[in-house]
């Protein structure tokens, strides 16, 4: 046996357990779900009904659009805020910046359920803000509970620290020397940002955006506790199909639809990662 072959076998051997686990717990169920999604619930024959249902039933179509709206808003706001935060943390050297730099990750360590309930007690129509308002004679009703805005706000709590973490890492890789160099030859701050910092960090921004998007498409806890009765986020719609209506074939179809929505974003992620930058060629 050649040395090369041996080394290859060892490598495969090391990868094999992980590969098998992934095949068994991820790939196999996905294949099953895809098959099931094309089957009639009673006869088991091939049908497209499970899919057409989600695109023709007005309530279900609204659910899909609603989910996209909530996710895209979350991504847009989270990324802008996170980027500004990351820029601040990277380029401002002060005690406040340092403190924020250590504190901004705290939300990541608060269990989701606690965070959601904490938010509810503050923003609900009878919550903390309302009570403070009452002291000053104003009956403040935010109307955030059971509304898309409340959910987006909650999503920001979870996602801004996460996105900021990724973007900060990217910005940290930009050496001070090139910025100082550019400033030396007379580039304005704005110019430095648009032609150096932004292009150098855009990859991390896109990656962060795809992650934020994907993690919100299937979210459950926040919409279950904070969402309204209709329209619903797809995570809840899927729960209804599976647990309430026991419509397993439709559940499978909805899972595939969610998978496809996510894979658009996964595609962007892979494309950005594969695309070589000019200077890397």
Partner 1 sequence: MKRRLLTMLLSAVMLAACLTGCGGKAGDSGNSGDAGSGGKKAVSLWATGSDNVREIFEALVSDFNTNSEYAGQYEVTLQFMLSGTGAQTLADMLAAASKAGQTNTDYDIVDLSGDDLSKLVSLIGQEQFVKLDSSKIPNAASVEAKSSIATDYCQPYRGTTVILAYDSAKVPTPPATMDELVAWMKANPGRFAYNTPGTGGAGDSFARSSVYNFLPEEAFTSDDEKWIGEWDEGFNFLKEIHPYIYSSGGSVVYPNKNQGTLDLLNQGEIDMCPNWADMVLSQRASGEIKDSIKITQIDPALTGSLQSLVIPTFGSNTDGAYAFMNYMLSPAAQELMVKQMAAIPLIDASSMDMTGYEDLQGLDVSNFRLQSIGGLSTSFNERWDSEIATIG
Which of 137, 244, 274, 276 binds partner 1 (CB under 8 A)? It is 244
Encoded one letter per residue, x for contact with partner 1 by CB under 8 A and - for no contact, window 2-41 reads: ----------------------------------------
CA separation for the pair 35, 241 (Å, rounded): 17
CA separation for the pair 19, 111 (Å, rounded): 30
- Compare residues 122 and 266 and give the one whose CB is closer to partner 1: 122
CA separation for the pair 248, 250 (Å, rounded): 5
CA distances from 149 to 133, 166, 213 (A): 20, 25, 16
CA separation for the pair 92, 100 (Å, rounded): 11
Which of 34, 53, 101, 147 binds partner 1 (CB under 8 A)? It is 147
- Compare residues 146 and 259 and give the one whose CB is closer to partner 1: 146
75 exposure class (CB count in 10 Å sphere: 0-12, 13-18, 19+): buried
* Interface with partner 1, residue 57, by CB under 8 A: yes
232-236-239 Cα angle (round to 5): 145
Q: How far is the CB of 233 from partner 1 (least distance, A)?
A: 12
Which of 29, 44, 143, 172 binds partner 1 (CB under 8 A)? It is 143
Segment lying near partner 1 (by CB under 8 A), choices 38-46, 118-126, 132-140, 160-168 = 118-126
- Compare residues 20 and 246 and give the one whose CB is closer to partner 1: 246
* Interface with partner 1, residue 225, by CB under 8 A: yes
Which of 228, 242, 268, 272 binds partner 1 (CB under 8 A)? It is 228
Are 236 and 224 spatial neighbours (Cβ–Cβ below 8 Å)? yes
* Interface with partner 1, residue 150, by CB under 8 A: yes
* 123-142 binders of partner 1 (CB under 8 A): 124-127
Sign of CA dihedral 49, 51, 52, 53: positive
Encoded one letter per residue, x for contact with partner 1 by CB under 8 A and - for no contact, window 58-97 reads: xx--x-----------------------------------
* Interface with partner 1, residue 220, by CB under 8 A: no
What DSSP string describes 141-191? ----TTSHHHHHHHHHHHHHHHHHHHHHHHHHTS-HHHHHHHHHTT--HHH
* Interface with partner 1, residue 49, by CB under 8 A: no
CA separation for the pair 142, 121 (Å, rounded): 12
Q: How far is the CB of 133 from partner 1 (least distance, A)?
A: 14
What DSSP string describes 183-206? HHTT--HHHHIIIIIHHHHHHHHH
Q: Summarize as ranges the residues that interact with partner 1 (CB under 8 A).
A: 57-59, 62, 124-127, 143-147, 149-150, 224-225, 228-231, 240, 243-246
């Amino acid at each position: 046996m050649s040395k090369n072959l041996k080394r290859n076998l060892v490598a495969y051997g090391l990868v094999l357990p992980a590969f098998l686990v992934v095949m068994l717990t991820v790939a196999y169920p996905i294949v099953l779900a895809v098959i099931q999604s094309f089957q009639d619930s009673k006869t088991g024959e091939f049908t497209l009904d499970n899919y057409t249902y989600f695109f023709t039933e007005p309530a279900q179509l609204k659910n899909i659009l609603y989910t996209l709206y909530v996710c895209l808003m979350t991504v847009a706001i989270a990324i802008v805020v996170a980027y500004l935060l990351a820029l601040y943390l990277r380029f401002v050297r002060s005690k406040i910046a340092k403190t924020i730099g250590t504190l901004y990750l705290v939300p990541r360590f608060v269990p989701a359920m606690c965070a959601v309930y904490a938010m509810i007690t503050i923003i609900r129509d009878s919550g903390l803000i309302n009570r403070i308002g009452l002291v000053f004679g104003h009956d403040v009703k935010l109307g955030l509970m059971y509304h898309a805005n409340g959910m987006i706000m909650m999503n920001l709590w979870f996602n801004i620290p996460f996105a900021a973490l990724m973007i900060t890492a990217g910005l940290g890789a930009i050496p001070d020397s090139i910025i100082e160099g550019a400033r030396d030859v007379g580039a304005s701050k704005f110019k430095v940002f648009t032609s150096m910092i932004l292009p150098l960090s855009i990859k991390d921004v896109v990656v962060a955006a795809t992650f934020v998007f994907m993690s919100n498409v299937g979210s459950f806890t926040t919409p279950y506790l904070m969402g309204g009765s209709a329209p619903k986020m797809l995570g809840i719609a899927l729960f209804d199909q599976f647990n309430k209506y026991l419509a397993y074939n439709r559940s499978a179809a909805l899972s595939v639809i969610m998978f496809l929505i996510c894979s658009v974003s996964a595609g962007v992620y892979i494309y950005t990662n594969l695309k070589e930058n000019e200077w890397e060629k």
